[in-house]
Structure 1
Amino acid sequence: MKIYNKKTFWYGIGFIVLGTLQLMISIWKGFDLKGTVMMILCLLIGGSGLLRSFSREMSREDKIAELDERNRLVEWRAKSRALGIAELVCFVCMLLSIFGMQAMEAFFGGMLVAFGLIFTTMLIIECITLLYYNKKP
């Protein structure tokens, strides 16, 4: 068997490993609904990924869809929106931590520092990427 799409192949292997680990944990600790559903989904996604990576036609369709301009634009817009939402959530958590410091200073102080670092990192990365892509022709 020849692997036509290595990226899909490794995603499939990863999901099968996750499903198998979930199966072993379920056997060891007992089956529950959430774990069983997650295990089945991981095994199905992994199996379909492996099948798609071994099929020439399906791998060709995946590569064409990956290179399609509209799909790439939708992905870029979704990532941009996700970054904006993550920045907003981080800023709100910082504000809540500032107000919460009056109740429990040590706990909310640590949260304020953590959210502040994450928020600052996101802003710096966003500025660097804006500068990079504005320079690029």
Structure 2
Amino acid sequence: MKIYDKKKFVFGMMSLLLGICLLVLGFLKGFNSTRIILMILLPIIGISEIYLGINQEAVKREKFEGTEERNRLISLSSKSKAFDVVQTINFALIFLFLILGKQSGEENFIAMGVSFSFIFAISRFVNFFSEIYYERNM
């Protein structure tokens, strides 16, 4: 057995071991719904990741898909659109919490609005500096 993707193989082994540990813990301390769900999901994920780590064709196909220009363009476009949507929602939450704070007089709403505005400012600065970086280096 040869390992072609060590990260997937290690992740699969860890998931499988966590599932086994949860099974043992369930027998020792009792079962609850969270443990049962994780006991089922972790070994399934672990076995599939181990299989993907030792399957040469799957590793080649995944590396090809990761480097294909169309897939990279789709990934970059979706991340960019997701960032725009998050910034828009963040901007709306700023106004919502500031208006709620003004109407109700609760300082907690105002604090939440200021917190969201701080996050919005950080995201704008990061976006601005990353654009400068990529304009210089591309």
TM-score, normalised by the number of residues in structure 1: 0.79
Deviation digits for residues 13-58 of structure 1 (CA, Å, limit 9, x no counterpart) = 45446655765776646433x7644553443233211111112222
Asked if 1:129 corresponds to 2:130, the answer is yes
2:77 corresponding residue in structure 1: 77
The one-letter amino acid paired with 1:128 is: F
**Distance in 1 between residues matched to 2:97 and 2:24, nearest whole Å:** 40
State how 1:91-106 maps to structure 2 within 5 Å.
91-102=91-102, 103-106=104-107
Segment drifting more, 123-132 vs 21-30: 21-30
State how 1:1-137 maps to structure 2 within 5 Å.
1-13=1-13, 15-16=15-16, 19=19, 28=29, 30-32=31-33, 36-37=36-37, 39-102=39-102, 103-137=104-138
The one-letter amino acid paired with 1:106 is: E
* 5+ residue gaps, structure 1: none
Q: Based on CA coordinates, which of the two structures has the bigger radius of gyration?
A: 2
Q: Percent identity?
A: 28
Name the CA shift for 1:131/1:99 in 2 (closer, same or farther; >3 Å): same
Name the CA shift for 1:3/1:104 in 2 (closer, same or farther; >3 Å): farther
TM-score, normalised by the number of residues in structure 2: 0.79
* 5+ residue gaps, structure 2: none
What is the number of residues matched between the two proteins? 136
Name the CA shift for 1:134/1:6 in 2 (closer, same or farther; >3 Å): same
Segment drifting more, 79-88 vs 13-22: 13-22
